[in-house]
Amino acid sequence: MTLMRMNRRSVLAGAAATPLAMVAAPYVARGQSGVIKLLVPFPPGGSVDPIARMAQPSLQQRLGQTVIVENKPGASGSIGAAQVAKSPPDGTTWLFVFDTHAVNPVLIPNMPFDSVRDLDPVMLIGTAPYILACHPSRPWKTFADMVAAAKAKPDTISFGSVGSGSIGHLAMTQLGKRAGAQFVHSPYRGGGPAMNDALGGHIDSICGSAAITATQLKAEKLRGILSTGAKRMAAFPDIPTAAESGFPGFEAYAWWGVFAPANTPKEITDKFVTELRGALQEERAQKQLSETLQVDMRLGGPDELRTFFAEQMRVWGDVVRENNIKTD
């Protein structure tokens, strides 16, 4: 693709622009508007979408460019990820991902991109435990109650997740396997649709990140059964951990991160990391992330995300293979 040459007039006109705008300008392809896109590969209503949208206004102000959020859901986030992988590495397209991003390479055959080769790590935003919660109309108070019900009537007790291969799905697969119980998995295209059916009682339970379950738990629209963190959550001290529920050493975490098209110049990535970190550290965003969404903020740069991502692919890729997990 032919790159835009900067003539004297465009240099002078861009002198008042922000550093990212000036850094990105040589890499913006001819005919592009320069609008910065935060691509969310899930529908609105889950946890990835609100994180991108809470960052958007501050990023727009900090970067001095129009910043938009675009939802491109499908295939556990891989459809949107593929779009970003094929985008020019010019600083105008950034991918906000969920934990499914580390599972998709093993779960989905013949993906049209390579998650490691075609996307560069940018930022590890944060992590949160998963919470298994049931509709208040269901009789279970503990995971042992759910296991007993599932053993009495195999393949009748359902749980929803954001999709096949999500950490919520894999965590319940492992817990059921260790407990000797068979649960029915109901995969959805995102946290919003899964939560809607959980609240409506259309599924028995949901294994969702604390980010999407916290509000409903506080409102007592769902009943917490167990969490997958190393210790009980301060916001929900009555919900036992998986370890306390009879599964010592068991932990599973949702996570949120940002990737860019491969070969995005380091100066562009570094600038974006600085401004995104600043946006998410603002009081309003920090409060929403930490208190409302129950996210343990990491805000780590490319190197931290690269290491974390590799470990997540290793751990959960093994679970997919061992349990012969398939896509929907």
Contacts of 255 (CB under 8 A, 6+ apart): 98, 99, 124, 125, 126, 127, 128, 308, 312
**pLDDT for res 255:** 96
* Helices marked H in the chain: 8-13, 19-24, 48-63, 78-85, 100-107, 143-152, 167-179, 191-199, 210-218, 266-280, 283-287, 302-322
Q: Is residue 260 part of a domain?
A: yes
Beta bridge partners of 255: 127
**pLDDT for res 264:** 98
CA-to-CA distance for 159 and 194, rounded, in angstroms?
9
Q: Is residue 148 part of a domain?
A: yes
**pLDDT for res 223:** 98
**pLDDT for res 303:** 97
Closest CA to 241 of 140, 148, 159, 131: 131
CA-to-CA distance for 132 and 230, rounded, in angstroms?
15
Which pTM value belongs to this model?
0.85
- Tell the burial category of 215 from Cβ atoms under 10 Å away from its Cβ (0-12, 13-18, 19+): middle
Token digits for 37?
Answer: 């896109």
Same domain, 78 and 187: no
Q: Write out the residue range of the structural domain in which residue 169 sits.
A: 129-227
Q: Is residue 3 part of a domain?
A: no
**pLDDT for res 326:** 83
Same domain, 119 and 151: no
Same domain, 16 and 109: yes
Q: What is the mean pLDDT of each run of 10 residues along the chain (328 residues)?
A: 39 42 42 79 90 96 96 92 97 96 93 96 97 97 97 95 90 96 92 93 96 95 98 96 97 97 98 98 95 94 98 95 85
**pLDDT for res 65:** 95
**pLDDT for res 76:** 85
The CATH number of the domain where 154 resides is what? 3.40.190.10
DSSP string, 62-111: HHTS-EEEEE---GGGHHHHHHHHTS-SSSSEEEEE-THHHHHHHHSTT-
**pLDDT for res 33:** 55
Number of separate domains in the chain:
2
**pLDDT for res 123:** 98
**pLDDT for res 3:** 37
Same domain, 69 and 102: yes
Same domain, 143 and 190: yes
Place of tokens 């080769």: 117
